Amino acid sequence: MPGEPAYVQTMSPSTPITAEELLHVSIPGKRVELVRGVLVVREPAGLPHGRVTLNLARRLADHAETKQLGQIYVGDTGFTLARGPDTVRAPDIAFIRRERLPTPEPAGFPDMAPDLAVEVLSPGNRPGAVLGKIADLLSAGTRLVWVIDPERRLARCYRLDGTEAVVSADDALRGEDVLPGFDCSLSAIL
C-alpha cells in the first residue's frame, strides 16, 4: 500500500511477529503494539492526551513513591501479555506493585501484566480497539484498568473481577486495593 512503512508491508498475516522482534521495529512518529502476533501501528496522541497523562502520572508516581508501593511507568512501556502468538500492549501509564517488580529489570518487554493500566483516549481511538486492549490486559491479570475520556470528562474503571464503574469529573479515581490510599479528583487531571 502506498505510504505504508516497508516493515508492515513485508509482514505476512501468516507470519506472526514475536515480542523479541517487536523490540527492533521502529516506525518514526508512530506508536506500535503487537496483538496476537500482528503489528498494530497508531498515530501519536495530541496535546490533551499528553497533558492528562502527565497530570495523572505525576500524582500516581508521587503516591507510589511516598507510600513505597511500587513503580509507575509511562509512555510506550510494553508488557508481554501472551505468548504464541505474542501480544505486547503499552498502556499510557502502568503501575507494578513493589513485590512484583522484576529484578533486574529486563531490557525488553517483561512477561507480565501491570497491576494498574491507564489509557487516556484521543479523538481517533476506535471503541473496539480500546475494548480489545482492556480485554487483553484483564485476561493477563491486570487488576485495575482506567480508561480516561478527556472529551466526555469521565473515566471508566474495569476490574479483574469483572465489575465496572464510571467516574464523572466530580468524582475521584481511587487506587482501591491496587494502589491503597490513592484518591484523585478526575477534574484535577483534566
Cα–Cα distance for residue pair 79/105, rounded to 1 Å? 12
Judged by DSSP in three states, 177 sits in: coil
Write down the CATH number for the domain with range 45-189: 3.90.1570.10
In this prediction, residue 13 carries a pLDDT of 56
Instruction: Give residues with Cβ within 8 angstroms of 151, minimum separation 6.
Output: 48, 121, 123
Name the percent of the chain lying above pLDDT 90: 84
Average pLDDT (151-158) is 97
Identify the band that residue 76 occupies on the pLDDT scale cut at 50, 70 and 90. Answer: confident
43/176: higher pLDDT: 176
Q: Where are the alpha helices (DSSP H) in the chain?
A: 6-10, 19-22, 47-66, 127-139, 186-189
